[in-house]
Structure 1
Amino acid sequence: MVVCGDDGLAHRLAAELRGVYGEQVTLVVPPTAGGVPRPVAGRARAASAALLDRMNAARGRAAGRLGGTSAEPGANGRVLEAAELSEAVLAEAGVDRAAALALVWDDDETNIRAALTARRLNPRLRLVLRLYNRRLGQHIEELLDQAASLASGNGPEADASTTVLSDADTAAPALAATALAGTSKVVQTDGLLLRAVERHPPRPGEVADPGLCTLALLSATSNDPAGADGSESSGEQGPQLLPDAAAVAAATGRGTVVLEQVSYSGPPLPPTRTGVPPFASLFSRRLRWSLAGLVACVVALAVALTVVTGDHPLHATYETLLDLFAINEPALNRDAGRQILQLLSGLVGLLLLPVLLAAVLEALGTFRSASALRKPPRGLGGHVVLLGLGKIGTRVLTRLRELHIPVVCVEADPEARGMATARRLRVPVVLGDVTQEGVLESAKIHRAHALLALTSADTTNLEAVLYARSLRADLRVVLRLYDDDFATAVYRTLRAAHPHALTRSRSVSHLAAPAFAGAMMGRQILGAIPVERRVLLFAAVEVAGLAQLEGRTVGEAFRAGAWRVLALDANAPDERRDDLAGDAADGTGLAPVSGLVWDLPDTYVLQSSDRVVLAATRRGLAELLGRRGARDRAGRGTGTGT
C-alpha cells in the first residue's frame, strides 16, 4: 500500500493500514511538512507552537525518518520524503507493483495529477482519492475506472477500482450527530442514508424496541454526562459492538444503538412548492393580506355601483377603477348613492398608494437581503452554534439543515468557503473572531442547544469552548481537534472540570481514516458511525470468494463483535450500480432507486452472486478483506492474479 499526503490524515491512514490490516505501507510526505498539521493562523499560532513541536517529534519517531529521502522504520512500512508527487517519486514509492494507492493531499489538483500518473504506471492499481469537490470527484472516478478497464482488457481478475472520498463528507455526519446527543447518528452518502439512534435503558416494566437490529451496547457510563465515553482505561465497561441476542438480553442498565430507519434524505423542501403563490417569497404575509383587503373593497364597491345605478357589472367595475385612480369625472349631477360610492372609491385609492409603495420597497429589500448575510433573529433558542465555515464546517452545516436543525454560524473570514452555502440556505451568520468578547453572545449562545467548534485551529476551538462554558456551564459542546491523542486529553480534562455537562471531542482524521483504509482494501465503504470512542463501519461487499459468507444463511454469517449482514442488493449482477454511495435517483429527484432489501430473514442463504451491505468493526472487516487480500497478493506474485 502507498499513502501520499501532507497532513495528519496520511499518518493516521498509514497507521490504520499497518495496525489493523497488517499491510506493508510506503508513506510519501513533503520534506518540510511531513507530519505537520495544517497551518494555524493568527493569535493561535504562538499558543499552539509547543503542541505542534511535540506532535512533529512523536510522528517523526513513529515514522523512523533518518534524514534522507526515505527510511525503513520496520518490516511493514517505510517513509519517503518528496517535495511533489512526480512520476519519478511515485515510481520510487513502488506504485507500479503496489496493490493500492491513497492520495490524501489537502489539494484536489495535486491528487488528480498524481492519480492520472499512477493509473498510467499501473492500470491495475486500486486508487483512493481525497477530493472536496464531489461533482468533480464523480467524473474523475468514472474516467479513471474507464482507463483501467481499457488498459486491463476488461479482464475478470481486474480489481483496479477507483474510490473518491472526502474527509469532510466522512466526518460531517458524525460531528453533526454528536452535537445532538440523544438523537440520530447518521451515515449519509448521496443516495443512501443509514440512521442509527441511541436509546436509553428501558425503565422497569418497559420492553425495549430493538428496531431493525441492535448495532451496539453502550458503556455503563454513556448516559452519565460525566461518564467515561467508552474509555476502558477508566475501569468502566466499554461499548460492545454488534452484540448477539444473548448479550442484548443479558445487558441491563445499558443504552443501545439500534438501526431504526433507512431512507433517502433529500433537501428540506420539495423541488416545487404547491399552494403558495410565486410572489410569496417577495412579499410578507401582512402585505399580502393588505392587498387582498383592497381587492375585496374594489369588488364590493363595483357590486354596490351595479345595484345603485343598474349598470352592467363590467361597466360598473370600470367606473369604480376610474374613481379609485382619481381619473373619472366628479358625479356632481348624479344621485346621492353614486356620489357616496365615488367618495368611498377615492378613499380606497388613497389607501392603495402606500400599499403599492410598501410592496415595491419590500421586494427590493428581499432581493437585497438574498445576497446578504442574515442575523440571528430575536428570541432564537434551542439552536446549534457552529464555529467555522471551512471544509468541515460547510459539510456539517449542510447536514444540520437537512435534519431541519436551526443553526447560527460564526466565521471570522467573510470570504470563507462556506459563506455561499450559508447564504443559499439562509442561515444566520455572525462575522467576527470567536475569541473576542461579545461574538458568541451575538450568536445567542446563552439560549443555544449545543456548540460545534469546527475551525481549523485547535486552540481557537478550545478557547471558544472554555469561554462558552464560562457563559453556560451546562452547554453541550463538540470541538474538532486535529490530533486524536490531543482530543482525548482535552475531553478528559473538560469532563473532569464540568462533570454535569456533555462534552465531546472529535478528531477528523480519526473519523475519516477507517473509511479511506477500507476503500484501499478494495471494498466500498459506505460510511462510519462513532460509538463512543470506537467506530462501526458500513460496507458493500461481494459474497463470492468469502468463505465466511458464501453458502451460509444470514444468521450463520453473523459473527458477534465482528460483522453483521444488514441488506441485500436485489438487482441482477449486470444491473447493479457500481457505487452504492452515489446518487440513486430515478430521475424525479424525489426518491432513490437502490434495490436494497433490508428485512432479510435469518434463513436466507447467501449466494456467490450476491452483494450485501454489512456493518462491521474495523478488525472484523480486516479479517473479511485480509484473507481475500492475501490470496490476491499471492496471485500477483505468481502472475495469475490481479
Structure 2
Amino acid sequence: MVVCGDDGLAHRVAAELLDVYGEPVTLVVPAAREAERVLGGPGSGLLSRVPLARPSDAAPGERPGVGGLRIVEAAEPDEAVLAAAGVDGAPALSLVYEDDDRNVQAALVARRLNPRVRLVIRLYNRKLGLHLAELLDRAAAVAAPAPDLPGLDASTTVLSDSDTAAPAFAATAVAGTSKVVQANGILLRAVERTPRRRGAPPAGALCTLALLSADPDGPEGSDGPARTWNRDRAGDRDRDRDRDRDRDRGPWLLPDDDETAHAGGRSVVALEVVPPPRRRRLPSPLPGAAALLGSLGSLFSPRLNWSLAGVAVAVAALGLASWLTTGDTPFHAAYVTLLDIFAFNDPAVREPPVRQLLQVLGGFVGMLLLPVLVAAALEALGAFRTAAGLRRPPGNLSGHVVLVGLGKIGTRVLARLRELGVPVVCLESDSLARGLPLARRLHVPVVLGDVTEEGVLEAARVHRARALLALTSSDTTNLEAVLHARTIKGDLRVVLRLDDDDFAEAVDRTLSTAHPGALTRSRSVTHLAAPAFAGAMMGRQILGAIPVERRVLLIAAVDVVGLPELEGRTIMQSFRPGAWRVIALDSAPRAERRPHLPGVRRAGDPAAAGGLIWDLDPDRVLSGQDRVLMAATRQGLAELLGRRRTPTADR
C-alpha cells in the first residue's frame, strides 16, 4: 500500500494499514523525520513494533515485508516519486494531501503508471470528486479492458475527511441528537435507548450496535481496536475473561443477546433506518391578492410590519371620518385625505372646523409615515441583498449551538446541524472564511471576531446556548474558547477539535473532573477519518463511521464472494460479536449493481427492486452473489478481509 500526504491524516492512515490490517506500507511525506516521530516515536503507542527503513537502506527493487514501513521523503508526488514509491505494483494508493489540486494531479499520474491500482483520493470539492472518480474509472477500463487478474478492484474512491468527521461533531454537540451516517441516499441513525426486554434490541431498531459505558459522562475509553473472539473452547474462556475485564472500562461494540441481557442496566446504541422525507408543496392559505401581500410582508421585520399596519389604520380612520363629516363621496374623501397626509392640499383656512381638524391630523400622520416608508425601503433593499450581509444573533435567542470556526470542518458541521434543524450561531475571526457564504445562504447568525477576546462569546449568546463546538485548526484556540465559555456557563456542553490524541484525553479527564455536571468531548478529525480511508484502500466501500464514545464503528458495503465467514452461512451464523454484523442486503442483481448503494427501500415494497432489504430473515443463507451492508469494528473488518486470499495478495 502507498500513502501520500503532508499532514497527520497520512500518518494515521499508514498506522491503520500497519497496525489494524497488517499491510506493508510505503509512506510518501515531505518530512520523513516527522513521520518517524509520529508513527514510531517513543510513547506513541501506534507502531512501536514496526521497523522503520529509508529507501536508501533498501536494495534496488526490494519490497518491504508484511508489517513493514518504508518512508519516501518528497515534497511533491510527481511521476518520479510515485514510481520510486512502487505505485506501478501497488494494489492501492491513497492521496491525502490538503491541497485538492495536488491530489488530482497525482491521481492522474498514478492511473497512467498503473491502470489497475485502487485509488483513494482526499478531496474537499464534492462535485469535482464525482467527475474525477468517473474519469479515472473510465480510464482504468480503457487501459485494462480484460485484466488477467480476475476480481481485481481498480476503482476510485473519493472521500473527504470533513464529511467523515462532521456527523460525529454534530451528533456530539447536541444532547439527545442521533448519530447519523448519510451517504448515497442511505440515512442510518444511531440512537441511545434502553432495551424493553432482555436480549432484544429496542422497538423499531434494526440491531444493537453497542452497550455504553457504565459512566457515560466520565472520561471515554481509548479507541483501541475492538476485541475479537475465537470459537474454540479456549477462546470462550478468553471471551469471558475479556468481558469481565471490560465490564466497567468502556463500551461493548456489537454485543450478542447474552451480553445485552447481562448489560446491568446500561443504555444501548441502536441502529435505525430513517427514510428520506417526502417533499410536498403546501397550498397557500392566502388566495390571490392576499397571498401577494403576504409574500411582500415577508420582506419586512415584524416590528416594521406592525408600524405599517398602524399607519394604514390611521389613514383609513381619517378617510372614514372625512367621508362621514363632509358628505363627500368615499372616493373623493379618500383622495382629499391622502392629499392632506402628503401635504399636497391647500390649507383649509375657510373650511369648517371639522375639516381643519382632519387636515391637521392628516399632516401629523404624514409626518409619522415618512420615516416608516424610509425604513421599509431600506429593509426591503437589505432583504434583497441578504446574501451580501451577515445576520447578527437575535437578543432573545436561546437553546442554540455556538460553532467556533468556519473552515473545512466547521462548514460541513454547520450544514449537518442545519439539516437536523438545530439553531446555530457561528463565530469566525476571518472575514474571508470558507463557510461564510454557506452561513449567509442558510441565514445563520455570525459574529466576526477573535474568540479569545473579551465580549465575543457573549455576543454569540453563549450563556443561553446548549452546546459549544470549537472547531478551529488551532488546539490552543479551541481549548481557550472552551475554558472561557465554561467561566460564563459552567454546565455548558462542549466539544473540542484536538488533533493530538494524548492531549485530547488529558483535556477530557481534566475538564470532566473540574466540571462533573457538564459533558466534555474531544474529537480528532484524523482519528475519525482515517478508518474510512484505510478501509477504502482495502477494497471496502465505507459509507461512514459511527462514534461510540471514543471508539468507532464502520458502516461498509461488502461483497460476500470469497469470504468464508459470510458465504454459505445464514445471517445468524455470520454474526461475529465484537467484530461484525450484517444489517441489510442489496437486492439488486449483481450485473445491475451500481458502484454506490441505492436509496432506502423496505422489504415488501413494490419499488424495492434494486434497493436494500432491511428486514432480514435470520435463517437466510448468504451466497456469493450477494452484497451486504455491515456494521463492523476496524479490527473486525480487518479480520474479515485478511482471511481472503486475493490474486493481488498472492502476487
Q: Out of 201, 209, 214, which is 1:215 matched to?
A: 209
The answer on 1:95 being equivalent to 2:109 is no
Structure 1 218/289 Cα, relative in aligned 2: closer, same or farther at 3 Å? same
CA distance in 1, matches of 2:619, 2:141: 37
**Match 1:172 to one of 159, 166, 170:** 166
- Please give the per-residue CA displacement for 1:226-272, whole angstroms capped at 9, x wherever unaligned: 35457899983321111122222222221100113323379xx9899
For residues 330 and 607 of structure 1, the distance between their equivalents in structure 2, rounded to whole angstroms, comes to: 97
Displacement after TM superposition at 1:309 (Å)? 12
Cα displacement (A) at 1:61:
7.8
Deviation at 1:58, TM superposition (A): 8.9
Equivalence for 1:41: none
**Pair 1:393-2:410 in alignment:** yes
Write out per-residue CA displacement over residues 589-633 of structure 1, whole angstroms, 9 at most, x where no aligned residue. xx99982232223233334333221111112212222233x3232
**Distance of aligned partners of 1:508 and 1:62 in 2 relative to their CA distance in 1, 3 Å threshold:** farther
TM-score (norm: length of structure 2): 0.81
Residue 633 of structure 1 aligns with which residue? 648
| Residue identity (%) | 61
Bigger mean CA deviation after superposition, 73-82 or 293-302: 293-302
Contact 1:196 1:258 in 2 (8 A): yes
1:197 shift after superposition: 0.8
Which one of the candidate residues 269, 285, 296 is aligned to 1:257? 269
Instruction: Write the distance in 1 (CA, Å) between the matches of 2:384 and 2:36.
Output: 45
In structure 1, the partner of 2:6 is 6
* 1:369-518 equivalences in 2 (<5 Å): 370-518=387-535
2:566 is matched with which residue? 549
- Where does 1:175-186 land on structure 2 (aligned, <5 Å)? 175-186=169-180
**Cα separation, 2, equivalents of 1:305 and 1:599:** 75
The one of 36, 59, 67 equivalent to 1:76 is 67
1:193 equivalent to 2:210? Answer no
CA spacing shift, 1:557–1:417, aligned 2, 3 Å: same
Aligned to 2:594: 577
Q: Name the residue aligned to 1:603.
A: 619
Q: Please report the RMSD computed on the Cα atoms of aligned residues, expressed in angstroms.
A: 4.2
Distance in 1 (CA, whole Å) between partners of 2:34 and 2:76 is: 12
Q: 1:535 to 1:593 in 2, by over 3 A?
A: farther
Write out per-residue CA displacement over residues 401-421 of structure 1, whole angstroms, 9 at most, x where no aligned residue.
111112222222211211222
Are the equivalent residues in 1 in contact too, given 2:15–2:46 (CA < 8 A)? no
| Deviation readout 1:313-364 (Å, 9 max, x if unpaired) | xx96587457535679999999999999999999987776555433212212
SS at match of 1:537: strand
Question: d(CA) in 2 for partners of 1:349 and 1:427?
Answer: 37
Deviates more, 1:357-366 or 1:226-235: 226-235
Instruction: Give the residue type in structure 2 aligned to 1:363.
Output: A
Q: Deviations over 1:464-499 (max 9, x none)?
A: 222323333322211111122332233223333333
8 A contact 2:209–2:254 mirrored in 1:
yes
Deviation at 1:518, TM superposition (A): 0.9
Cα distance in 1, alignment partners of residues 201 and 583 from structure 2: 23
The alpha-carbon deviation at position 528 of structure 1 amounts to 0.4
1:221–1:360 Cα change, 3 Å: same
How far apart, CA to CA, are the structure 2 residues paired with 1:434 and 1:572? 54
Which residue is 1:42 aligned to?
none
| C-alpha distance 435-347 of structure 1, shift in aligned 2 (>3 A) | closer
Distance 1:543 1:349, change over 3 A: same
1:516-527 alignment runs, 5 A limit: 516-527=533-544
Please tell me whether the aligned partners of residues 32 and 71 of structure 2 are also in contact (alpha carbons under 8 angstroms): no
Using the size of structure 1 for normalisation, the TM-score is 0.82
Deviations 1:521-540 (A, max 9, x none): 11210000011121110011
In the TM superposition, residue 19 of structure 1 has moved relative to its aligned partner by 1.4
Matches within 5 A, 1:15-164: 15-31=15-31, 34-35=34-35, 75-77=66-68, 78-153=70-145, 157-164=151-158
Matched pairs, number? 608
Contact 2:401–2:424 (Cα < 8 Å) also in 1: yes
3-state SS of the aligned residue for 1:148? Answer: helix
- Residue in structure 2 matched with residue 324 of structure 1 by the alignment: 338
Quote the offset at 1:89 in angstroms: 1.0
The superposition leaves residues 529-584 of structure 1 with CA deviations (integer Å, 9 ceiling, x where unpaired) of 01112111001122233332233332232222222121222334444332238x99
Where does residue 552 of structure 2 map in the other structure? Answer: 535
AA aligned opposite 1:473: G
Distance across 1 between alignment mates of 2:39 and 2:151 = 45
Preserved CA contact (<8 Å) 1:16 1:513: yes
Secondary structure of 2:643's partner? helix
Cα distance, 1:134 vs structure 2: 0.8
- Taking a change above 3 Å as real, the CA distance of residues 298 and 104 of structure 1, as seen in their structure-2 partners, is same
- Contact 1:6 1:36 (8 Å CA) reproduced: no
Q: Match of 1:238? A: 250
Counterpart-to-counterpart distance in 2, 1:416 and 1:521:
35
Partner of 1:43: none
The answer to which of 170-179 and 271-280 deviates more is 271-280
- 1:69/1:319 Cα in 2 relative to 1: closer, same or farther (>3 Å)? farther
* Distance of 2:44 and 2:573 partners within structure 1: 48
Amino acid at match of 1:250: H
Are 2:201 and 2:270, in contact at CA under 8 Å, matched by a contact in 1? no
Change (3 A) 1:438 1:348: closer
Structure 1 regions of 5+ residues with no counterpart?
Answer: 38-50, 586-590, 638-642
Q: Secondary structure at the match of 1:624?
A: helix
Change (3 A) 1:218 1:569: same
| Paired residue type of 1:7 | D
Matched residues in 1 for 2:442 and 2:631: separation? Answer: 33
Contact kept? 1:123, 1:147, Cα under 8 Å = yes
**CA gap 1:260/1:68 in 2 versus in 1, 3 angstroms:** closer
Compared CA separation, residues 616 and 305, structure 1 to 2 (3 A): same
Unaligned 5+ runs, structure 2: 225-244, 286-290, 602-606
Deviating more after overlay: 169-178 vs 154-163: 154-163
